[in-house]
Amino acid sequence: MQKLLHSKARIFTVVIIVLIVCSYIMRWYVFRIPWRSNLFFASVSGTVMTLSWVVFSKIHRLFDTFFPYERGIIARMIPQVLLTFIFVLVISQLSINWAISIFPASGVIAQQYTDLAKMAGYFAQFLVVVLINVLHLSDYLFHKWRENATRAIHLEKEKAQVQFDNLKNQLNPHFLFNSLTSLDSLIQENPELARQFLQQLSKVFRYVLQHKDKGLVPLYTELDFIKNYVFLLHTRFENHLTIDFHIPEESLDKKIAPVTLQILVENALKHNIISQERPLHIHICADDTFLKVENNFQPKKQVETSNRQGLQNLKTLYSFLIDTPFKTIEHNGKFVAYVPLISQ
C-alpha cells in the first residue's frame, strides 16, 4: 500500500510540474508576462493544485464511505464532479483575490482574465476536474479488478487442492481394500511375510496421515514412503511388476506435493495390463528440474473406477505451486510423467 501511495505521489508531482510549466509558457508567450510576475503566478497555481489534490482525495474517500461506486457509477460521478468543480472555482477566485491583495499586479490580472480567458479557464478547470475524477474511478476499477483476479486465483488454487485431496481419499480405500485382500492370503501361506506386509502397510498409512495436510514434502521423504508402498505392490504382483529408482543426491532436498508418486504409480497400475506375459516396468528418476516417472505403455481396454481426473488434478495443483508445468507424454511405447521439483 505504501508503494502504491508513493507511486501516486510521484505521478501527481509530475502532473503538477507539467501543468505549471505549460501555464508558465502560455503566460509568457500569449500575454508577455514578466518572468518575476510569471514565477509568482506559477507558485500560486502550484499551491492551488496541491491543495485541490488534497481536498479531492478527502472528497473521494468520503464518497467511498457513504456512496460507493457499487451503488451506481453515474449517480456518484455527477455530484462528485460538481462538488470538486465548485471547490476549484472557489479556491481559484480566492487565490486570485489574495494575489491581487499582496502583489500589485492588477493590470496583469486584468490583462490575463478577460471574459474569453475566464471562459477558457473555467473550461480548462472543468476538464481537469473531470480528468481527476475519471483517474480516480480508473484507479478504483483497477484495484477491484486486481482483487477479483487475486480472489479467483485463490479460489482456483483451493479448488485444485480440494480435488487433489479428494483424489487421495479415493485412492486410500481402494488401496486398502487390495492390501487387506493380499494380507488375508498371506496370513495362511506365509505368516512371516504377512507380518512384514502389515508393518509396511502401517508405515504407508502413517505417512499419509502425517502429511495429508502438508502442501509440500521433501523428495527424500516421499521416496521413503513410496519404497514401503512398492514392497506392498511387489507382494501383490510378484515379478509381474518392477519399480526401480535413480535419484541423484542433489535432488533429494527438492520438494513435491505429498503422495504424488503414489498417485502416479497407482495410475500406471490402474490403466495398464500387468501379467506374466506382459509385465509392467516403472522407472523413477530425477534431474535438476523434474522427477520423471516412466512406464511401458500397455493400456487396458476398460478401466474400472476411473474418472480420468487424477493426472489433470495434479497438473492443476502444480500450476499453482510452480511455474514449470507438470506434463505427461506418450512416446515410443512409453508413458512418462514429468513432475516439476520445487526448490524452497
Give the max Cα distance, the chain.
116
pLDDT tops 80 at residue 287: yes
The pLDDT, as a whole number, for residue 341 is 94
Parallel, antiparallel, or unpaired for β 280-286 and 290-296?
A: antiparallel
Identify the band that residue 5 occupies on the pLDDT scale cut at 50, 70 and 90.
Answer: very low
pLDDT attached to residue 301 = 79
Which residues, including other chains, have CB under 8 Å from residue 167's CB and lie 6 or more apart?
A: 263, 309, 310, 313
Q: Which of 314, 179, 335 is nearest to 272 (CA)?
A: 335
Note the pLDDT of residue 25.
76
Look at residue 282 and tell me whether its pLDDT is greater than 90.
yes
The 3-state DSSP class for residue 306 equals coil
CB contact set of 247 (below 8 Å; sequence gap of 6+): 219, 223, 284, 285, 286, 291
Cα 314 to Cα 327: distance, rounded to the nearest angstrom: 9
pLDDT above 90: residue 147: no
Map residue 329 onto helix, strand or coil.
strand
What is the structure's pLDDT at 163?
56
Span 88-112, mean pLDDT?
64
High-pLDDT (> 70) share of the chain, %: 71
156, three cell numbers: 482456483
CA dihedral for 95, 96, 102, 105, sign (positive or negative): positive
Radius of gyration of the chain (CA): 36
3 — pLDDT class (breaks 50, 70, 90): very low
Q: Are 183 and 205 in contact (CB under 8 A)?
A: no
Element (H, E) at 336: strand 334-340
| Calpha distance 333→39 (Å, rounded) | 81
pLDDT at 263: 85
Residue 339 pLDDT level (bands cut at 50, 70, 90): very high
Higher pLDDT, 336 or 107: 336
pLDDT score at 281: 95
In percent, how much of the chain has pLDDT > 90?
15
Per-residue b or e along 237-257, where b marks 16 or more CB atoms closer than 10 Å to that residue's CB: beebbebeeebeeebeebbbb
Of 83-92, 162-171, 310-319, minimum mean pLDDT range: 162-171
Question: Which positions ≥6 away from 227 have C-beta within 8 Å?
Answer: 245
Q: What is the mean pLDDT of residues 260-278?
A: 88
Domains of the chain, by residue range, sit at 2-113, 158-340
Q: Give 170 or 16, the one with higher predicted confidence.
A: 16
Q: pLDDT of 212-252, one tens digit each? A: 667 788 999 999 888 888 888 888 888 899 999 999 999 99
C-alpha closest to that of 8 among 52, 72, 42, 57: 57
- pLDDT above 70 (res 164): no
CA angle 162, 171, 182 (to 5 degrees): 165
Q: pTM to 2 decimals? A: 0.54
What is the average pLDDT score of the chain? 77
State which CATH number among 1.25.40.10, 3.30.565.10, 3.40.50.300, 3.50.50.60 fits the domain covering 158-340: 3.30.565.10
Sequence-distant (6+) residues with CB within 8 A of 229 are: 200, 204, 261, 262, 265
87, 52 contact by CB (below 8 A): yes
pLDDT score, position 32 = 66
pLDDT at 18 over 80: no
Q: What is the pLDDT of residue 334?
A: 92
Q: How confident is the model at residue 64 (pLDDT cuts 50, 70, 90)?
A: confident
- pLDDT band, very low/low/confident/very high, at 4 (cuts 50, 70, 90): very low
